[in-house]
Structure 1
């Protein structure tokens, strides 16, 4: 069974993502393509410590984190988009593969979010966040060592609702290892 640190380490590298999003209210779909850089951050990394401080969480309780940067294009409009976020995982005392999720999106203090993470026995990672205006749940898993899948649901307090599916292909970075192969084989 993979632990949460191994899951994030396996995610490190450069990924090509193709996402299809469905907007419930308008019944329209939109495709996006992006390059994603996923960087594993150990518990003692300065960005992990800083985010813990911003969330007023003792950084010694953090297990690890990640920095995710993306650049993409919306297929229909050709609009470019980019951004980054930092995630820190703080495990529950009795369960190391689930706990508090600290999240900061690029864009300042208002971008601080908290939520929950859980790495299930099926080796899929579920991230849930909620703010005053929006709720989201995202599930990620490896279909093979260099192919990751992601589904998400986002709901706004104003009635906004969107569901997305992404397939992500590793383009470089961290080499796939035995744990990734094992995770991919167990997913089959």
Structure 2
């Protein structure tokens, strides 16, 4: 499976159940999210605008392959007000010398900034690694079937706090079969 096909499969409306666990404090929290994920062609205005905002050195990754726009409304155990965000993710072609690793650029989300990550799509599991001066995170996404996907995450902050998460996500409305 290619990254573009994987991103197409991610599109749709999803309900997400999440458990987050701080390993050092042994505290866990549950949460839930409603996700609206839209697949964007590589020449869409949103993808092109994000690519134009990158510095020249960041643009050396080549042309974008596609994009995902994710609108998320989340609540976490103990919070009464939902958190609402929109994230745009754009993958670039894998580097042939890096064994299928590619670059992924995202903007928006809780941090409201442009972040660069690397991705690896192997055995139909997408792994995204993001590192900056505040944290390192690894997220893995895979499908059990077309309407059920799993997501795990591990984040380590520079102060040593480690947070693990697990999400099970159910597509709202069955994905129509592909035409022959």
TM-score bracket for the superposition, by shorter chain length: 0.7 to 0.9
Cα distance in 2 for partners of 1:162, 1:4 equals: 27
| Alignment CA distance shift 1:66-1:3 (3 Å) | same
- Could you list the runs of 5+ residues in structure 1 that have no partner in the other structure? 179-188
Deviates more, 1:91-100 or 1:129-138: 91-100
Inter-partner Cα distance in structure 2 for 1:80 and 1:149 = 22
Task: For structure 2, list consecutive stretches of 5 or more residues without a partner in the other structure.
Answer: none
Asked whether the equivalents of residues 126 and 139 of structure 1 are also in contact (C-alpha less than 8 Å), the reply is yes
Give the TM-score normalised by the residue count of structure 1.
0.84
* Separation in 2, partners of 1:55, 1:176: 37
The number of aligned residues is 175
CA drift at 1:93: 4.2
Alpha-carbon distance in 1 for matches of 2:7, 2:147: 13
Judged with a 3 Å threshold, the aligned counterparts in structure 2 of structure 1 residues 98 and 64 are, in CA distance, closer, same or farther, namely: farther
Cα shift at 1:172: 3.3
TM-score by length of 2: 0.88
Aligned equivalent of 1:161:
162
Q: Deviations along 1:121-165, whole A, 9 cap, x unmatched?
A: x20001111121111110000001100100001111122210000
1:138 and 2:130 correspond: no
Is the CA contact (8 Å cut-off) linking 2:146 and 2:175 kept in structure 1?
no
Contact 2:95 2:101 in 1 (8 A): no
Is the contact between residue 129 and residue 138 of structure 2 (CA under 8 Å) also seen in structure 1?
yes
Q: Once the 2 structures are TM-superposed, how far is the Cα of residue 75 of structure 1 from its aligned partner? A: 2.4
1:39-58 equivalences in 2 (<5 Å) = 39-56=38-55, 57=59
Match for residue 111 of structure 1? 113
Between Structure 1 and Structure 2, the one with more helix by share is 1
> 8 Å contact 2:147–2:174 — kept in the other structure?
no
131-140 vs 55-64, which moves further: 55-64
